[in-house]
Each structure stands twice: as structure tokens, then as C-alpha cells.
Structure 1
Amino acid sequence: MSTTVTADIEVDVPVRVAYDHWTQFESFPHFLGGVESVRQFNDTTTHWVVKVGGVEREFDADISDQVPDDHVAWRSTTAETPHRGRVDFRPVDGDRTRIDLTIEWQPEGFVEKAGAALQVDDMQVKRDLHRFKEYVEKRETPDGAWRGEVHGGVEGTDPDLRM
């Protein structure tokens, strides 16, 4: 049985700033609990090292859909526990952004299943979004930004122009 966690938060930065920070995947350990490291191989593939319930896991994830200032969707490609997610960015006003996050995975083992049943996962995702809020509001200028699009796991700027 899969578990789905949804959470949202408003941050006091424009949508472009929030999006640009979120797409700096290697900075995730600064605000995502349990994430030890993220390496980005190219515009669509990342390698993660996470520690959950004392268990370290490594996996690759691919960006399946990405539109600047709008959303990023991903799915694991090598994880023992498959997961996928999506984060949406919506302007509230010129200097404020709503972030909606959805993550879905299949808990395995007693610790993960107990955590899901007790909604520990929900609390962790909400804490992570609060840490992201603090992070992005303190560091208004992102370290970098990639403004391209990904559709169906394929990089490009216009899905209608790809063969």
C-alpha cells in the first residue's frame, strides 16, 4: 500500500526565487531532514544518499516534468522503495509564493510502515518545508539556476519542437 504525503507553505520571496532555490538539488541537505547528499549528474538525473530510521539508502531519481516557476516532478529509478513527487509554485502576490508538495512511496519494513501509520512522514515533510522557508528567506539570491524545461523525462524548451 503506497503512502502519499501532501504539504504546503507560503514563503516571503517571489516565485522565481523559490523555484530557483528548489532546483539547486545539491543544497537539499541544508533543509531536508534525512538527506545526507544529492549529486546532480545532468539536468534530469540526481543521485541521493538518505538516512531514514537509522538506515542509509542510495538511489537515483529522474526529473520527469519541469517548467520554470511552475513545477518540478520526479521519480526514483533505482530505489528499493520506489517513490515519486511533485512540487508546485504559485504566486500569491509579487513577493510571496505558495509551495505545494506531494510525495508518494511504498513503505517497507516495520520502521517505515509504523512511521507512515503514525504520520511521522507527514510531520517530517512539513518540518522540511518550514526549513526550506527559513533557508530561502535568508538567502534571497540562489547560487545558480537552470531555467530549461523537461517533459516526459526529456529535456527541452518546447515540447512541440522535439521529435
Structure 2
Amino acid sequence: MAESTKEVVPDHIRTSEGEALRRLIDASEFSQQTLAAAAGVGSKGFLWQIVSGHRPLNLEAAAKLAKALKVKIDAFSPRLADVVRETSSLVLPASYLREPNGDSHANAPIPISRATEAPAPRSAWPFSSLTPAEYAIISPESRAEIDAIVRGMYIEASKRGKIQGA
């Protein structure tokens, strides 16, 4: 017999998460039916199974429910909140993987080893809202564009005498 790949969530955790979710629903303007529809998690029956502890809560449903209830996942599932925390450092924000025109670089190789280098002192770094580590994970094409823009700005500023110390 094939072994199931689904996570086995102990009864006491399913029950605890279900009770916490029920309290949040009771304190909200939602019924289980309206919350299921608003969150897009399926039917009232699906949500009832989670709230009653018969079905384990999954990350996708937890995220949708948290968003609809305007709470953090921690409010009803510390287990799944821990999963989010543990994995969040492994995911780059989508803005790092997009060109200004919206083209995605999701499949482009990302030099993770360079992204973890210690940042240079801020006084030597030309950007106020971008760290060296963040810059290192931008695609090479995007870095070249940024470098060209910064060089052009520097040349223009130096022509106008707007560079400090010049």
C-alpha cells in the first residue's frame, strides 16, 4: 500500500486550531458560510470540518482565512505560522525578480552566495533604500541598467556641481 504524502496533524492540534478559528469567526461579522465564500476556501462544509477539528488546516486555507479575518495566521495556527517563518527567508520578494517593465526573472539564476555577503558601510553605498545584499540578488541585466542610470546621474550631477565634496 502506498504511503500518504499528506501531513499527519495530531488531533489536539487540529482541535486547538479549530477552536481558535471558531472564536475569531464568532468575533467577526462573518458566519462560516460567508467567511468560506469571502476567503475563497470552498464551502461552509469544508470550513466546518476545519473548525470542528475533523480536517487539518493547510497553509493555503490559513492564508486566505487570515486575510479575510484581517488577522495573522498566528492568531489561530501557531503551527502554520512557524512554517511561514521558517520558509520566508528562502523566498525572494517578487519585486527582486522583475524588470521595471514587469518581465519576470523567476527562472533566472540568483547568486544566493553573493546575497548573503556582509553589506558595505552605508556611507560607501550609493543607495539609501537598497542594501548591497539586495542589489546582489538582482539579475545581471537589471544591475547593468541600474549601474548605467547611476553613472548617468553622477555625470549630470557633477556637471551641475551638485556632488558633495566636488
Instruction: Give the TM-score normalised by the residue count of structure 2.
Output: 0.21
More relative contact order in 1 or in 2 (CA 8 Å, sep 6+)?
A: 1
Structure holding more strand per residue? 1
